[in-house]
Chain A
Amino acid sequence: MAIWFARSRNITHFLRTKISPFEIIVNQRCSNYSFFHANSSFKTMAGESYSRKVTELCMDKSSAAILAFRRPESAIAGGQIEAVPYTTDDDEDDENQAMEFPGGKVGFTLEMNFISESPGKRIPCYRVLDDDGYPLAGSRFEQVDEETAVRMYKSMVTLQIMDTIFYEAQRQGRISFYLTSMGEEAINIATAAALTSDDIIVPQYREPGILLWRGFTLEEFANQLFGTKKDIGKGRQMPIHYGSNEHNYFTVSSPLATQLPQAAGIAYSLKMDNKEACVVAFTGDGATSEGDFHAGMNFAAVMDAPVMFICRNNGWAISTPTSEQFRSDGVVVKGQAYGIRSIRVDGNDTLAVYSAIRAAREMIIREQKPILVEALTYRVGHHSTSDDSTKYRPLNEIEHWKTARSPLAIFRKWVQRNGWWTDKEEIELRGSIRKQVLDAIQAAEKTEKCSLEDMFTDVYDRLPSNLQEQEKSLRETVKRHKQDFPTDVPV
């Protein structure tokens, strides 16, 4: 045990100077254990300094092994990787002056020190591209090949156009409600691209891009929004409450944060079944205030559940800014208190999100432990079609994020500079997606709703007698008062 402490201390010292959790990834990558993406590599603009760091870290092979070791039984975890954060500046003293308590040894001190309420410096956010789409000097990221990069960009454009047109359709009264992902296209698409289709998505609601990436069609989106008989959710939920078993995407539920402890349970099942997959659960910044956020994080940590919590910190929960949501340094710092490794990333930087999610996924599956990702971004749209956000935030703030910090614009510059995309292709793509979305709307508008029996099915696995009775009586009512009921629901 003492050896672990000593060795882990080395890492801690290193980490303390370098801060970025990124180094942990590097550390793992040079261990002897095989990784999923065996050929994945980090590109660096400053090659030498990268390799120097690698050597430095790799000297401590056994620690790397601890980090990478897959432990199905977690009971003995106590003093291993978890020991890393426990080391303090006065380690030497601590070892001499330790006391036994339930939960392990704790050093004591004669100083009456209160821990500060927040870290002195804000945790920096991992970034690859600058706002002009140039890789920052020294940036390291997971290389993306042309095909993937172009597909990612196209999906981001599709998501944006889909949002624009569906939003407009709501304004015209053709659907009852809509909510866009504008400004958060990178989080949506880069996350999707960094995962495999076996990874299970537990959404909040502003993540339809993952479905899109996985092959959910524009027609399927439209059918949900219009509540047609082709909606796989059978028209029962409000627009944007998508869900698709086929795409490993659990159905959206409005009550916030309820999905987070569920995600830990889903992940625990993957773990017990020895699956090479993880759960990816989303939360907004606002939803982190819910009790279920705490429950989800704590369960995931204690159960060593292979789940990635991604917080889309877009600055707002309807009209409430994050300054009125929580104190200290946002969401990323909560991870450590729960015993969950965490990283903060620039959510508008497609390459940063992609690299961080890839790395996090590998660690989660290899180590069978949760990770928390805080993606800093901005909700460019109104909260939903029921909201007018100019009532509570300045227009120029919205405009800045819509233009200068647009994830699409930044990524496009990078893709285009690589010679993978042209203005002509852009125009063609936009035209064709626009047409596809409009076609999907037209078709959905003409499609009738689910038939009346679908109102009663699925409450339970089969119809209990009270519902049989109610269905029968309802049908009689409908016969008597046809004019009271919509004609597009077959009776």
Chain B
Amino acid sequence: MGSSSLLKRIGRLSVISSSCLESSGIIIDGKSGRGSLLRGLSTAATEQELRILQQQNKSSSSLNLFSAINQALHIALDTDPRAYVFGEDVGFGGVFRCTTGLADRFGKRRVFNTPLCEQGIVGFAIGLAAMGNRAIAEIQFADYIFPAFDQIVNEAAKFRYRSGNQFNCGGLTIRAPYGAVGHGGHYHSQSPEAFFCHVPGIKVVIPRSPQQAKGLLLSCIRDPNPVVFFEPKWLYRLAVEEVPEKDYMLPLSEAEVIREGSDITLVGWGAQLSVMEQACVEAEKDGISCELIDLKTLIPWDKETVEASVNKTGRLLVSHEAPITGGFGAEISASIVERCFLRLEAPVTRVCGLDTPFPLVFEPFYLPTKNKILDAIKSTVKY
């Protein structure tokens, strides 16, 4: 990880944000951290990406994740006059500031507040996309995407297939902040990715860092298929990284080995990767060599990269914040058992959220913490 020098390692207790707006609200404050689990982020740029960066001759800047998203949206609107950005409170910059400055620069006809109605936002976006536009819709929180579930599952996902490819809404991208923040309780913490991974016809993408977020979001916006893009809101301010200023895209459906190792493969996505990486670092002290893979695109996912890694290490651990039962970890586990059965030296392990609603005061117990992962790494290797 030669890249870590470029990164500001950031602890989750470090930021107090008063402008981090939200309805029922997310303030990343010192209080909530409870002092235990540190969400530093060092799982960032790869060698290859670094090279790109250097070629750019320093045309990069140190950005946090919401600013990287903001930059991607600026580029998307700038490079395509048929691109639109809209959603609840998007006009003044959005409750997480991701859309700051867009309405001023591109006008209220392309960047606008919608009525407070998620099914309306997605339905409208599908219509707009079906006419050959890039509709970039924001759902204020992933927890509030469910009123739009029908539009996403029955409409967006089947628009092309049901018409024999006469129509499509490929220009649709739905952005939504997801995941824990320390004090979000039931409805500002959920990770609903698995619901959408059960739907052929849409893509699900989750970035782990600012640089990834910008490149992946631009790919999603320009991908000719509807995409649900979940943004790790815990990292909006906490993750800071050198992000190239130019317009660049990172490939979808390509997983990335962000840490090489030989004893066990760990697979994750989004904010969870930084927790997993800390476990890898700790495990190394005990002489266990971990390979860490960022899946990035959950469907259609890059089985080959994971398969190759497990064939090398003989062990697999998957970790996500969403409840373990029916989570996307189950799909990965089943597929890898199918493909690598004879190479596996231990059962596939899942370290995930528990099967309860996301509980406010019990959040530190609920989450798949570094030490839960570390314990699982050790017992899998010892199996």
Seen from chain A, the residues whose Cβ lies within 8 Å of a Cβ on chain B are 173-174, 176-177, 179, 205, 227, 235-238, 240-241, 253-256, 286-287, 289-292, 317-320, 324-326, 383-388, 391-392, 449-450, 452, 454-456, 459, 466-467, 470, 474, 477-478, 480-481, 483-486, 489
Check if A466 sits within 8 Å of B92, measured CB to CB.
no
Q: Residue B78 at the A interface, CB < 8 A?
A: no
Task: Pick the residue among A173, A254, A317, A478 that contacts B188 (CB under 8 A).
Answer: A254
Q: Evaluate whether A477 and B116 lie within 8 angstroms (CB atoms) in the complex, with A388-B19, A455-B365 already known.
A: no
Check if A238 sits within 8 Å of B24, measured CB to CB.
yes
Check if B186 sits within 8 Å of A237, measured CB to CB.
yes
Check if B356 sits within 8 Å of A455, measured CB to CB.
yes
Task: Pick the residue among B112, B115, B186 that contacts A326 (CB under 8 A).
Answer: B115
Check if A235 sits within 8 Å of B361, measured CB to CB.
yes
Q: Evaluate whether A318 and B23 lie within 8 angstroms (CB atoms) in the complex, with A236-B186, A237-B186, A386-B95 already known.
A: yes
Q: Evaluate whether A466 and B116 lie within 8 angstroms (CB atoms) in the complex, with A318-B88, A456-B356 already known.
A: no
Check if A384 sits within 8 Å of B365, measured CB to CB.
no
Q: Residue B302 at the A interface, CB < 8 A?
A: no
Task: Pick the residue among B22, B115, B144 that contacts A384 (CB under 8 A).
Answer: B22
Residues in B with CB closer than 8 Å to A484 are 36-37, 364, 369-371
Contact with A along B334-366 (1 / 0, CB 8 A): 000000000000000000001111011110111
**14 A–B contacts from the bound complex (CB under 8 Å):** A227-B360, A237-B185, A237-B186, A289-B115, A290-B118, A318-B89, A319-B91, A324-B91, A385-B25, A452-B365, A455-B356, A455-B365, A477-B375, A489-B365
Give the shortest distance, in Å, between A457 (CB) and chain B (any CB). Answer: 9
Determine the distance from Cα of A384 to Cα of B355 in the docked complex, in whole angstroms. 30
Determine the distance from Cα of A489 to Cα of B362 in the docked complex, in whole angstroms. 8
Check if A486 sits within 8 Å of B24, measured CB to CB.
no
Contact with A along B1-43 (1 / 0, CB 8 A): 0000000000000000011111111110111101011000000
Task: Pick the residue among B24, B89, B119, B365 that contacts A478 (CB under 8 A).
Answer: B365
Determine the distance from Cα of A483 to Cα of B325 in the docked complex, in whole angstroms. 27
- For window 270-325 of B, CB contacts with A under 8 Å fall at 324-325
Q: Residue B120 at the A interface, CB < 8 A?
A: yes
Q: Residue B248 at the A interface, CB < 8 A?
A: no
Residues in A with CB closer than 8 Å to B31 are 173-174, 176
Residues in A with CB closer than 8 Å to B20 are 386
Determine the distance from Cα of A176 to Cα of B181 in the docked complex, in whole angstroms. 11
Tell me if B's interface is mostly helix, strand, loop or mixed: loop
Task: Pick the residue among B34, B88, B354 that contacts A470 (CB under 8 A).
Answer: B354
| CB-nearest residue of chain A to B325 | A466
Residues in B with CB closer than 8 Å to A179 are 24-25
Q: Which 6 pairs, one residue from A and one from B, show the smallest C-beta to C-beta distance?
A: A386-B25, A254-B187, A238-B185, A289-B115, A176-B183, A235-B361
Residues in A with CB closer than 8 Å to B359 are 235-236, 455
Interface size band for B: 35 or more
Task: Pick the residue among B24, B26, B29, B147 that contacts A290 (CB under 8 A).
Answer: B147
Give the shortest distance, in Å, between A278 (CB) and chain B (any CB). Answer: 26
| CB-nearest residue of chain B to A484 | B36
Determine the distance from Cα of A240 to Cα of B325 in the docked complex, in whole angstroms. 30
Residues in A with CB closer than 8 Å to B162 are none
Task: Pick the residue among A384, A459, A474 that contacts B25 (CB under 8 A).
Answer: A384
Q: A237-B185, A238-B188, A484-B371 are in contact. List 7 more A-B contacts (CB 8 A).
A: A235-B359, A236-B186, A391-B19, A454-B362, A455-B359, A459-B356, A470-B324
Residues in B with CB closer than 8 Å to A477 are 371-372, 375
Check if A485 sits within 8 Å of B365, measured CB to CB.
yes
Q: Residue B195 at the A interface, CB < 8 A?
A: no
- For window 85-112 of B, CB contacts with A under 8 Å fall at 88-89, 91-93, 95, 112
Task: Pick the residue among B37, B116, B324 that contacts A320 (CB under 8 A).
Answer: B116
Residues in B with CB closer than 8 Å to A386 are 20-27, 95
Check if B357 sits within 8 Å of A236, measured CB to CB.
yes
| CB-nearest residue of chain B to A318 | B89
| CB-nearest residue of chain A to B34 | A486
Give the shortest distance, in Å, between B191 (CB) and chain A (any CB). Answer: 16
| CB-nearest residue of chain B to A481 | B371
Interface centre among A174, A388, A450, A481 (most CB of B within 10 A): A481
Determine the distance from Cα of A291 to Cα of B148 in the docked complex, in whole angstroms. 10
